Amino acid sequence: MKLIDRYVSEVGKRLLALQGREDIEKELRSTLEDMLEERAEKAGKPADEAMEIELLKEYGSPDEVATTYNPHPYLIGPRLFPIFLKILKLVFFGVTIGLTVVMIIQLATQTPLMGSAVTEIVGGWITKIFSTLVAAFGYIVLTFAILERTVPDLGINKEDFEDKWDPASLAKEPHPDAVKRIDLIFEIVFTFIGLAIINGIFNIPIFSDIFRQFVPWINTVFIIEILLDIYLLRKAVWDTITRIVKIVMETGTIVLAVIMLRTPNLLTVPNEVLENIPDTSSIGVEGFLRISNLSVAIVLIFVIVVASVELIKAGIGLIKSYRRK
Amino acid sequence: MANTESLENVVLELRRGVIVLAALSQLSAEQYGYSLLKQLSDQGLEVDQGTLYPLLRRLEGQGLLESVWKLEEARPRRYYIISAEGKKILPKLKKEWADIVSVMKKMLA
């Protein structure tokens, strides 16, 4: 019997307490003892070690036996795989867009734009995308592997995460107040990146103290934007209140952008850049400040245009929805 | 070589679903794992231990079976019996099986 005991504990070592290891061990032992007894009866002699060895050999290696009891042969099972794929795609997409935007900003604010700097920024962008995607993949897999093992079966249906596609939806006119989900997701991603940039997370040392006075206001607008977008994503349609919030927010954005447009020197040229400007440079420090003011103005005018378009769209939507009623 | 392997896989797949029905149908009276295995085998359905025991645990986890430990001849044995929930779905499974058989019979004739 000693071999059976050792065999059972070998199997047990390969099981988790969570799976009911003790119970499985107990059941396995009782089964093996039954089988051994039966063999002894058939052979007409008491069970001996040779019989035990033969039995265990037939029953299979402890590895094999433990595997049959493993309810989770998957790292991420078919139950969670669809939502895993969705989130993975979304995150990869967001990371790539986000880092690309950062690179473009770095290129745009790099004065003077020298070949070596461009190579450095673009090279940095490629390495960053690669390392961030690998890290993001790791974290997402880890999260889902934990979810796979901790979230009970009840409550999570594969169908909940799969779009129930109805061919009839092709024939239907789109709802006049329906939100464009893709636009909202883009907006959320970009607003988050904007928040990160102006709050200094990416360490771009170009914002002056004058600019910093505007940061709380910009943050307020951005956060309202994100909250509104998330709310709209869930509700899927515009209504009067969300349109009014949108109008107020876009108006605020325009006012803020106009005030900033009238404020000079929002950006500074980092000291290390200033030190590197050769005295013989034809542009000089003055020139750099002029270029930085100009690029800020271009960005702000762009913001004003976009916000105005959004404002008008929300206004028209509001009027149309009233007319329909 | 590849052909035998895929044949084995298909056969395995075919049998896997049947074993659940077979086990549920035999557990209107309580049985422990090994006795059920022998009972199935006596009726011509050979099931691997490595398939049956985990399956019984899984069915119990799904609430289709209930189990209780009993001490017999100084040996603890885990007895399984069909649960109320299992009794409810067994007729539906039987009906499903009969439908499959009649369809496949016609199809393969």
Interfacial A residues in 22-51 facing B (CB < 8 Å):
23-24, 26-28, 30-31, 33-35
Q: What is the pLDDT of residue B8?
A: 85
Is there a single domain that holds both residue A82 and residue A53?
Answer: no
Q: What is the pLDDT of residue A164?
A: 57
Collapsed DSSP state (helix, strand, coil) of residue A179: coil
Instruction: Choose among B55, B57, B63, B56: nearest CA to B86.
Output: B63
Q: CB count, 10 Å around CB of A188?
A: 19
Is there a single domain that holds both residue A90 and residue A162?
Answer: yes
Q: What is the pLDDT of residue A72?
A: 62
For residue B1, name the pLDDT band (cuts at 50, 70, 90). low
B5-37 pLDDT, tens digit each: 888 888 888 888 899 999 999 999 999 988 999
Q: What is the pLDDT of residue A137?
A: 87
Collapsed DSSP state (helix, strand, coil) of residue A185: helix
More confident residue, A243 or A265: A243
Q: Quick one: residue A44, left, alpha or beta (phi over 0 = left, psi -120 to 50 = alpha)? A: left
Q: What is the pLDDT of residue A154?
A: 39
Is there a single domain that holds both residue A40 and residue A119?
Answer: no
Q: What is the pLDDT of residue A248?
A: 92
Compare CB distances from B50 to A27, A30, A65 and report the shortest one's residue: A65
- DSSP letters, A31-93, are HHHHHHHHHHHHHTS---HHHHHHHHHHH--HHHHHHHH-S---SS-TTTHHHHHHHHHHHHH
Q: What is the pLDDT of residue A210?
A: 84
Structural tokens at position B72: 């017999």
Computed over every residue of chain A, the mean pLDDT equals 80
Structural tokens at position B82: 């069909």
| Percent of chain A residues past pLDDT 90, beyond the cut | 8
CB B53 to CB A64 under 8 A? no
| Percent of chain A residues past pLDDT 70, beyond the cut | 82
Instruction: Choose among A207, A12, A103: nearest CA to A4.
Output: A12
Taking the CA of residue B43 and the nearest CA in chain A, the distance in Å comes to: 19
Could you tell me the residue range of the domain that residue A39 belongs to? 2-69
Is there a single domain that holds both residue A184 and residue A307?
Answer: yes
For residue A280, name the pLDDT band (cuts at 50, 70, 90). low
A62 to chain B: closest CA residue: B50
Whether A12 contacts A25, CB under 8 Å: yes
Which residue, among A8, A31, A61, would best test binding to B if mutated, counting the most B CBs under 10 Å from its CB?
A31
A64 to chain B: closest CA residue: B50
pLDDT exceeds cutoff 50 at B3: yes
A157-197 pLDDT, tens digit each: 444 444 556 666 566 666 777 777 777 777 777 787 778 77
Query: How many whole angstroms separate alpha carbon B29 and alpha carbon A75?
Result: 37
Q: Quick one: residue A236, left, alpha or beta (phi over 0 = left, psi -120 to 50 = alpha)? A: left
Is there a single domain that holds both residue A57 and residue A39?
Answer: yes
Q: What is the pLDDT of residue A161?
A: 44
Q: H-type helices in chain A, by residue range?
A: 2-13, 21-43, 49-59, 62-69, 81-109, 115-150, 158-161, 168-171, 181-198, 209-212, 215-235, 240-261, 271-276, 284-324
Find the CATH number of the domain harbouring B39. Answer: 1.10.10.10
Contacts of B69 in chain A (CB under 8 A): 26
CB A34 to CB B69 under 8 A? no
Is there a single domain that holds both residue A118 and residue A182?
Answer: no
Is there a single domain that holds both residue A177 and residue A324?
Answer: yes
For residue A156, name the pLDDT band (cuts at 50, 70, 90). very low
Is there a single domain that holds both residue A7 and residue A120?
Answer: no
Which of A34, A69, A104 finishes a domain?
Answer: A69
Is there a single domain that holds both residue A222 and residue A313?
Answer: yes
Taking the CA of residue B38 and the nearest CA in chain A, the distance in Å comes to: 11
Count of the separate structural domains present in chain B: 1
Could you tell me the residue range of the domain that residue B35 belongs to? 2-108
Indicate the helix (H) or strand (E) that contains B105: helix B84-108
Is there a single domain that holds both residue A152 and residue A47?
Answer: no
B40-83 pLDDT, tens digit each: 999 999 888 888 988 998 899 889 999 998 887 778 889 999 99
Count of the separate structural domains present in chain A: 3
Contacts of B75 in chain A (CB under 8 A): 30, 33-34
Indicate the helix (H) or strand (E) that contains B79: strand B75-82
Instruction: Choose among B61, B69, B62: nearest CA to B32.
Output: B69
pLDDT exceeds cutoff 50 at A296: yes
Is there a single domain that holds both residue A227 and residue A147?
Answer: no
Is there a single domain that holds both residue A138 and residue A51?
Answer: no
Which residues are bridge partners to B66 per DSSP?
B81
Q: Quote the ipTM score.
A: 0.81
Query: How many whole angstroms separate alpha carbon A47 and alpha carbon A144?
Result: 48
A71 interfacial to chain B (CB closer than 8 Å): yes
